[in-house]
Chains A and B, each alone.
Chain A
Amino acid sequence: MQATEAVDPLIGRLLTFDALGMRFREVRLRRDPNCPLCGKTPTIKDLSIHAEGAGQACAIGDNGPTRAFGVGAPSAAVGAPAAKPGS
């Protein structure tokens, strides 16, 4: 799935696959105008927040508490927050 995308981008679409239920789903993703990186008034302009001692880089973000998954996604349909880093 990821290999095919390298040649045919899925920009703004999240494709999910449930191997137990054998179901594909697609969720449309929208840009977040308040995104600290790519939003209208970005606060992240370099990688300094990732530097050691700068605190937990991924924990920054002034968007309040963790939002439900998916910007403009039809609810947390895919259960994405549970998607653990996997390798």
Chain B
Amino acid sequence: MKTLREMLAEARQAIREEGPEELQARLASGEPLVLIDVRDPDEYRDGYIEPAVNISRGFLEFRIGTAAPDPSVPIILYCQTGLRSALAAKALKDLGFPNVINLAGGYQRWIQSGHPTVKDSPLTTDQIQRYSRHFLLGQVGEKGQRKLLRSKVLLIGAGGLGSPTAYYLAAAGVGTLGIMDGDRVDITNLQRQILHRTSDIGRPKVESATETIRALNPDVTVVPYPHRITVDNIAEIIKDYDLIIDGSDNFETRYLVNDACYLQRKTNVHGSIFQFEGMATVFAPDQGPCYRCLYPVPPPAGLVPS
């Protein structure tokens, strides 16, 4: 009969092991991979490595087909210390998966190396109902919804672009919405700026925006910034957000948002509109162009009506 030590040694012979740094590099590169947490569900609930799915050891062979439909994509397994997952990786190897990797040292060493983990709070009964249509979408599901609830998005401008954007993100359950706008509601805003109502005329836009969003979805924490974004406040404000949405209405702000987002490695979702024409794109630092690649210099004053 084999001892546990012999079984582990045999497993390690057969599989590849990588440390936390290598996994971090793979995750940062965005390469396709399947990350599986093979611990028990209660361990996973206490914290896991994003974007791992939880398939506990006992179910692995039964569920791996669904979790890893393309066998050529690397499968990385981890457990608490790297032992259970070494045996699990060997089992997958024996099933014929060619590219199985065990995270050496497991979750424990990952944490000790200072890498981030996430912890999901359980969804309430109301949340399960509210987001049930998202759960039906394979690409969102419960996991995606939890991620949305943990996400922080900053909207620069609560006007014609920021209004519908904020409203839809709030409905979808994006957990934190920062809303920045120094203006007050004017009657001429109301035919398109759907966060604000007739009774809000004269009030700061961030106030009416906050009320409308809270009434729509109490899960959303709104952080109001009742002033303009400037060179003095932008770095401090955007640093806490995962994503910046530029719904501003002037070129100076757009260049400022673009530059600050690039320098702080924040993705900037950009939209603009003129009369009947709208456009949208995403500026992700070093993954694609920035606003200055698109518009090296602003149009001469007077060319563009304001």
Indicate which residue in A29, A46, A60 contacts B294 across the interface (CB closer than 8 Å).
A29
Contact digits for A8-44, partner B, Cβ 8 Å, 1 yes 0 no: 0111111111111000000001111001111100001
Q: Does B153 contact A (CB under 8 A)?
A: yes
The CB with the most chain B CB atoms within 10 A, among A3, A13, A57, A81, is that of A3
Confirm or deny: B272 has a beta carbon within 8 angstroms of a beta carbon on chain A.
yes
B256 beta carbon closer than 8 Å to chain A = yes
**Secondary structure class of chain B's binding surface, majority of residues:** mixed
- Is B4's beta carbon under 8 Å from chain A? no
User: Cβ of B245 and Cβ of A6 under 8 Å apart?
Assistant: yes
Bound Cα distance from A32 to B297, whole angstroms: 13
Contact bitstring A73-87, B, C-beta under 8 A = 1, else 0: 000001111111111
Q: Using a CB-CB cutoff of 8 Å, which residues 146-181 of chain B contact chain A? A: 148, 153, 157, 159-162, 164-165, 167-169, 172, 174
Q: Are B280 and A35 in contact (CB under 8 A)?
A: no
Assess the A29–B281 pair: CB atoms within 8 A.
Answer: yes
Count A-side interface residues using an 8 Å CB cutoff: 59
Q: Which of B19-27, B120-128, B262-270 contacts A (4 or more CB under 8 A)?
A: B262-270
Q: Least Cβ distance of B21 to chain A in Å?
A: 26
Q: Are B276 and A37 in contact (CB under 8 A)?
A: no
| Measured CA separation A56–B258 after assembly (Å) | 15
- Which B residues lie within 8 Å of A7 (CB)? 148, 172
Residues of chain A lying within 8 A (CB to CB) of residue B251: 58, 85
Given that A2-B165, A61-B297, A83-B274 are contacting pairs, would A29 and B256 also be in contact in the complex, using a CB cutoff of 8 Å? no
Contact stretch, chosen from B32-40, B63-71, B282-290: B282-290
- Contact residues in A for B243 (Cβ distance below 8 Å): 6
Q: Are B281 and A14 in contact (CB under 8 A)?
A: yes
Which among B148, B250, B289, B306 is the interface contact of A71 at CB below 8 angstroms? B289
Contacts of A9 in B (CB 8 A): 267, 269, 282, 284
B271 interface residue, CB < 8 Å from A?
Answer: yes
CB distance from A60 to the nearest CB of B (A): 8
Contact in complex: B300, A66 (CB < 8 Å)? yes
Nearest A residue (CB) for B244: A6
Q: Which residues of B contact A (CB under 8 A)?
A: 148, 153, 157, 159-162, 164-165, 167-169, 172, 174, 193, 231, 234-235, 243, 245, 247-252, 254-256, 258-260, 262-263, 267, 269, 271-274, 276-290, 292-300, 303-306
